[in-house]
Structure 1
């Protein structure tokens, strides 16, 4: 009979972490980041709790990762620890262990419950190569539709879905600064759901119904993600929420 694996003790503390993907590190895939983060907790000597089984893994739960190529100021994960630690010390040691561009912004003790359940919506800024007037006209056309179907290739093949229903708000504005040329920004709030609608899906929809040409490399930046305040359509802070 095969020997049963040793059962690991449950975590004694859980920490929720907000981190950013900036600059060239926005092209880091979720798999690449997870490997980098596991190396970072090892180098930082964070006392991780481990899963049970024949191949124990550090208890790390990722939630709501942004698409590869998108910058983000609001990525989240949760770790389980074998000891109670000083939160500020963990933040400092992880920040030192991660490369520049993968930056720890906040660490908080988990109050319990599901972190993923708190990530109900995202606030995005989309920097596109279009005049503000053209972007505004496309936004008006998009918001005037009851549904806007787009296609995206997924692991299960080409999928068609409505990208309009997930859009809670969408506004066009100027890009300020010297030498920006014909550019504008789109301020976008997306409700999370199934299927998951991404900012690039919205750009596809804007091109389809409003003729918007976003340029070859629009910069997509997630500014926030968290609980949705239905009355105002704003996105809250999941680390401040009590579950």
Structure 2
């Protein structure tokens, strides 16, 4: 075995790239497992020098952060890859975007600096479209939700049905005038909700908050809602969400978030 060959035969990671991608249109129904398979195929098509784990069944060095549920659109999904050779992140972004199906779109790529990607994500912003629901009706339901000290909802988990508080995780909740989602036109009679949820345990998802609206106000949309994650990152005291890739950019201060 050559002197510089690592044990297990795998080349070491020399560069880490953090990527932001979107799930749009019909591709929002892609499960996380299906996306992972599609992304690995895209890495091969784009000839990305991906690093692999050691052992009898090496796996590509890919780590995902807070994947959106199946059926939910997103403009802010994140992952990190480890590479065996250095690449230009913008050239990588273009190559991967071309290798993925339209609707799975690579939006940004930066060289990872210090710190964990997961540690920079503590909240998500969601836009929820409720067709056939009057905005005034939705606004009253949101007001009742915010006025409650606790909103208990139930969800089936691996440990069975579990009740938890959906109110505590909500940092911002309002009915807005216009859609901020890039998905297209919204029906004339449609309540549009802007929601910011903190990451807590157990995780509170948009469907849990909608269940909470049913609990406190009896709101039950006649057709399925359309949900889009607009952002995720660290929540500032002013209520803004900071993109987790900002701290990796060349003009970001070392050690800053």
**Is this a same-fold pair by TM over 0.5?**
yes
User: How far, CA to CA, are the matches of 2:58 and 2:134 in structure 1?
Assistant: 53
2:149 to 142, 146, 151: 146
Instruction: Identify the residue that residue 109 of structure 1 maps to in structure 2.
Output: 111
Match status 1:136 vs 2:139: yes
CA RMSD for the aligned pairs? 1.6
Q: Deviations over 1:145-166 (max 9, x none)?
A: 0110001112221111100000
Runs of 5+ unmatched residues, structure 1: none
User: How far, CA to CA, are the matches of 1:236 and 1:199 in structure 2?
Assistant: 20
User: How far, CA to CA, are the matches of 1:179 and 1:8 in structure 2?
Assistant: 50
2:122 to 111, 120, 123: 120
Match status 1:204 vs 2:207: no
User: How far, CA to CA, are the matches of 2:213 and 2:138 in structure 1?
Assistant: 9
1:174 Cα deviation from its structure 2 partner: 3.5
141 and 115 in structure 1: CA distance in 2 versus 1, 3 angstrom threshold: same
Q: TM-score when scaled to structure 1?
A: 0.94
Is the contact between residue 26 and residue 70 of structure 1 (CA under 8 Å) also seen in structure 2?
yes
2:169 to 162, 166, 170: 166
1:96 to 95, 98, 104: 98
1:228 Cα deviation from its structure 2 partner: 1.3
Instruction: Identify the residue that residue 250 of structure 2 maps to in structure 1.
Output: none
Instruction: Identify the residue that residue 24 of structure 2 maps to in structure 1.
Output: 22
SS for the counterpart of 1:227 is strand
1:190 to 197, 207, 217: 197
User: How far, CA to CA, are the matches of 1:199 and 1:24 in structure 2?
Assistant: 19
Match status 1:79 vs 2:81: yes
211 and 110 in structure 1: CA distance in 2 versus 1, 3 angstrom threshold: same
Runs of 5+ unmatched residues, structure 2: 1-6, 248-255
Runs of at least 4 residues of structure 1 off by over 4 A?
Answer: 175-179
233 and 178 in structure 1: CA distance in 2 versus 1, 3 angstrom threshold: closer
User: How far, CA to CA, are the matches of 1:94 and 1:16 in structure 2?
Assistant: 13
User: How far, CA to CA, are the matches of 1:220 and 1:79 in structure 2?
Assistant: 27
Greater alpha carbon shift after TM alignment, 5-14 vs 193-202: 5-14
SS for the counterpart of 1:146 is coil
User: How far, CA to CA, are the matches of 1:27 and 1:146 in structure 2?
Assistant: 34
Match status 1:225 vs 2:227: no
How many matched pairs?
238
Q: TM-score when scaled to structure 2?
A: 0.89
1:7 Cα deviation from its structure 2 partner: 4.9
1:179 Cα deviation from its structure 2 partner: 7.8
User: How far, CA to CA, are the matches of 2:149 and 2:160 in structure 1?
Assistant: 26
1:178 Cα deviation from its structure 2 partner: 8.0
User: How far, CA to CA, are the matches of 2:71 and 2:201 in structure 1?
Assistant: 21
